[in-house]
Structure 1
Amino acid sequence: MKLAGKVAIITGGGGGIGRASAMLFASEGARVAVADIDSVSGEETAEKIKENGHEAIFIKMDVSNSESVKNLINESVRRLGGLHILFNNAGVGNSEVRSTDMSEEEWDSVIDINLKGVFLGIKHAVPAIIQSGGGSIINTSSLLGLKGQKFLSAYNASKGGVVLLTKNAALEYGKHNIRVNAIAPGVIDTNIIDHWKRDERRWPIISKANALGRIGSPEEVANAVLFLASDDASFITGATLPVDGGGLTF
Structure 2
Amino acid sequence: MIENISMKSIHSLFSLSGKTAVITNGGKGIGLATAKRLSELGAHVFLADKDLETAEKRSRELNQRGLKATAIKLDISNEDHTIRVTEIATKETSSLDIWCNLSENTLNTPLEKLNINLMDTYIGSRIAIAKMPVGNFRCSC
Q: 44, 49, 62: which one pairs with 2:75? A: 62
Give the whole-Å Cα distance in 1 for the aligned partners of 2:135 and 2:21.
Answer: 12
Q: Please say if residues 14 and 36 of structure 1, whose CA atoms lie closer than 8 Å, have aligned partners that are also in contact.
A: yes
Q: 65, 78, 81: which one pairs with 2:91? A: 78
Give the structure 2 partner of residue 38 of structure 1: 51
Higher relative contact order (CA 8 A, sep 6+): 2
Give the whole-Å Cα distance in 2 for the aligned partners of 1:132 and 1:26.
Answer: 23
Q: 121, 125, 136: which one pairs with 1:122? A: 125
Calculate the TM-score normalised by the size of structure 2. 0.83
SS in 2 for 1:59: strand
Give the whole-Å Cα distance in 2 for the aligned partners of 1:114 and 1:73.
Answer: 20
Give the whole-Å Cα distance in 1 for the aligned partners of 2:86 and 2:135.
Answer: 13
Matches within 5 A, 1:117-156: 117-131=120-134, 133-138=136-141
Give the whole-Å Cα distance in 1 for the aligned partners of 2:111 and 2:75.
Answer: 15
Give the whole-Å Cα distance in 2 for the aligned partners of 1:6 and 1:132.
Answer: 14
Calculate the TM-score normalised by the size of structure 1. 0.48
Matched positions, count: 128
Q: Please say if residues 10 and 18 of structure 1, whose CA atoms lie closer than 8 Å, have aligned partners that are also in contact.
A: yes
> What is the letter of the counterpart of residue 35 of structure 1?
A
Seen in structure 2, the aligned counterparts of structure 1 residues 54 and 121 have a Cα distance that, compared at 3 Å, is: same
Q: Please say if residues 6 and 84 of structure 1, whose CA atoms lie closer than 8 Å, have aligned partners that are also in contact.
A: yes
Where in structure 1 do 4 or more consecutive aligned residues deviate above 4 Å? none
Give the whole-Å Cα distance in 1 for the aligned partners of 2:33 and 2:53.
Answer: 16
2:116 aligned with 1:113, yes or no?
yes
SS in 1 for 2:22: strand
Q: Please say if residues 11 and 34 of structure 1, whose CA atoms lie closer than 8 Å, have aligned partners that are also in contact.
A: yes
RMSD, aligned CA: 1.6
5+ long unaligned stretches in structure 2: 1-10
Question: Post-superposition shift, 1:135?
Answer: 1.6
Question: Post-superposition shift, 1:86?
Answer: 0.8
Question: Post-superposition shift, 1:118?
Answer: 0.7
Matches within 5 A, 1:71-220: 71-95=84-108, 106-131=109-134, 133-138=136-141
Q: 58, 64, 69: which one pairs with 1:51? A: 64
Q: Please say if residues 129 and 138 of structure 2, whose CA atoms lie closer than 8 Å, have aligned partners that are also in contact.
A: no
Give the structure 1 partner of residue 40 of structure 2: 27
5+ long unaligned stretches in structure 1: 96-105, 139-250
Question: Post-superposition shift, 1:122?
Answer: 1.1
What are the Cα deviations for residues 110-157 of structure 1, in whole angstroms up to 9, with x where unaligned?
Answer: 22222211111111111211358232111xxxxxxxxxxxxxxxxxxx
Give the whole-Å Cα distance in 2 for the aligned partners of 1:10 and 1:73.
Answer: 11
* Identity score, percent: 27
